[in-house]
Amino acid sequence: MSRLLVNGGNELNGELRISGAKNAVLPILAATLMNAGENILFDCPRLSDVDAMIEILRAIGCKVEFNNSMMRVDSSVLSSHEIPEDLVREMRSSIFLMGPMLARCGKIKISYPGGCEIGPRPIDLHLKALRQLGVEIKEAHGFLECEVIDLKGTEINLDYPSVGATENAMLIAVMAKGTTRIRNSAKEPEIVDLQNYLNKMGAKIKGAGTSQIIIEGVQKLSGVEHRVMPDRIVAGTMLVAGAIAGGEIILKNVMVEHIKPVISKIREAGCMLIEEGNSLKLKSTRKFNAIEVTKTLPYPGFPTDMQAQFMSLMTIAQGTSIITETVFENRYKHVDELIRMGAKIKVDGRVAVVQGVKRLTGANVTAKDLRGGAALVLAGLTAEGVTIVNNLKHIDRGYDMIDKMLRKLGAEVYRMN
Ligand code: EPZ
């Protein structure tokens, strides 16, 4: 089980280019199934979740090459509509394959994606939308056997602005007969990137990024080239790294608009942040004010994927901060580990009360999920002494060599197997 050794105390200085977004490239990779052609994707991050998706695409017949950050996916010939169970279990995002596979082949057999570290992660909204679009779904023995009866555009009202359900409905509606209107759709920027990619293929979609998306069904799609949007959560995580460690860093290839809620919180905490086009400059003196209230919300609210990292910053702020996680049921597994490092945090249901302390101390801690693991690394940057972060596999799902990124900025972070 690989782990990270973090020797705390160094300031961070220097420049870092942010890679393509995990949560944009995963649904786009699923969408490559739809055009039965060759797709070239630029700025793809090297992540274990991306590797898992590539394995699935190859298992159903796609040809995939991945060199540096350029990926070539040829979906001309598909050999199966059954998604390998072990790969689905490994990565919940394989659920994005339902829409494209049903649009392309008219059927799919896929095992129920397990819950994961941050909650049960139901897919009821996905299934309800697919059924409304004319898909018959049999749920038995832990599998979903789906078949298109008559793929017709319709009106879909999502009970909750689910990112995945919005994307799955969008994907299958691209090739439905007639027009589909998705109301209360999620507004995340990754959905806009997916719309841009699909429209390049010949789809007719508008409204992504708003709470209403309209898709006009088409018959034919073609292979395309696309540059994946920058990862706003990696950018936010690196901003917190610069803030918590102190120093001056510059992040390149950032869509500043995508992380406004994170920027305003870090400014409120006391750091200087200068926006220069697609770059962000952060200066930190390691003195932070507590932020009284932070609530995670669907985009454009404060992102749930930044909650854990922001909590690490608040553990050494002056005063008490209250964080409320409204999106996932169980996204505080990093709290016990931060307490082992000397943090003072009390959790009651979805509310965490963080009382700032002078300094954290290095400890042997364990990553329980992707963003909670990143939060422990950030805490290690400022803690006195050495922190060992175990279960690195969680972090590698969403960060392309987090140790290399931080070392480039002057941190003492080393990977140990
Ligand atoms: C996407 O997950 C992201 N993953 C998550 O990022 C992100 O945290 C989440 O959106 C919210 O922004 C990818 O894009 C690959 P949801 P998704 O459907 O689509 C409930 C990370 O760290 N729900 O918006 O699974 C669900 O249980 C990951 O990069 C239902 O009840 O999120 C949750 O409480 C973590 N029924 C809430 O909605 C459904 O059918 C939000 O889930 C679907 C979701």
Based on the fold, state whether residues 217 and 275 are members of the same structural domain.
no
Q: How far apart are CA 70 and CA 83, in angstroms?
A: 25
- Say how many CA atoms lie within 13 Å of 244 toward its Cβ: 31
Residue 122, C-beta contacts closer than 8 angstroms, at least 6 positions apart: none
Per-residue model confidence as pLDDT tens digits over 170-201: 999 999 999 999 999 999 999 999 999 999 99
- Domain of 355 in residue numbering reads as 3-19+230-416
Query: How many Å lie between the centroid of ligand 1 and the Cα of residue 188?
Result: 11
Structural domain count, the chain: 2
Indicate which atom in ligand 1 lies nearest the CA of residue 120.
Answer: 27
Helices 232-245 and 307-314 pack at an angle, to 10 degrees, of 10
- Domain termination residue (choose one: 177, 197, 227): 227
Based on the fold, state whether residues 219 and 364 are members of the same structural domain.
no
Based on the fold, state whether residues 15 and 126 are members of the same structural domain.
no
Q: How confident is the model at residue 92 (pLDDT cuts 50, 70, 90)?
A: confident
Based on the fold, state whether residues 287 and 204 are members of the same structural domain.
no
64 CB near ligand 1 (under 6 Å): no
Based on the fold, state whether residues 189 and 269 are members of the same structural domain.
no
Asked if residue 118 has pLDDT above 80, the reply is no
| pLDDT value of residue 122 | 86
| pLDDT value of residue 115 | 59
Based on the fold, state whether residues 53 and 12 are members of the same structural domain.
no
125 CB near ligand 1 (under 6 Å): yes
Based on the fold, state whether residues 92 and 194 are members of the same structural domain.
yes
Based on the fold, state whether residues 193 and 271 are members of the same structural domain.
no
Asked if residue 93 has pLDDT above 90, the reply is no
> Mean pLDDT, to the nearest integer, of 329-334?
94
- Domain termination residue (choose one: 170, 200, 227): 227
Based on the fold, state whether residues 156 and 252 are members of the same structural domain.
no
Q: How confident is the model at residue 296 (pLDDT cuts 50, 70, 90)?
A: very high
Q: How confident is the model at residue 215 (pLDDT cuts 50, 70, 90)?
A: very high
- Domain termination residue (choose one: 205, 227, 249): 227
Query: How many Å lie between the centroid of ligand 1 and the Cα of residue 161?
Result: 9
Contact 170, 142 (CB under 8 A): no
Q: What element of type H or E holds 393?
A: helix 392-396
- Domain CATH number, residue 118: 3.65.10.10
Based on the fold, state whether residues 301 and 406 are members of the same structural domain.
yes
Based on the fold, state whether residues 195 and 296 are members of the same structural domain.
no
Residue 254, C-beta contacts closer than 8 angstroms, at least 6 positions apart: 18, 230, 232, 235, 278, 279, 280
Q: Are strands 386-390 and 279-284 parallel, antiparallel or unpaired?
A: unpaired
Q: How confident is the model at residue 114 (pLDDT cuts 50, 70, 90)?
A: low
Q: Ligand 1 test: best mutation among 91, 160, 233, most atoms within 8 Å of CB?
A: 160
Based on the fold, state whether residues 407 and 283 are members of the same structural domain.
yes
Contact 409, 241 (CB under 8 A): yes
Q: Give the closest residue (by CA) to ligand 1 atom 4.
A: 23
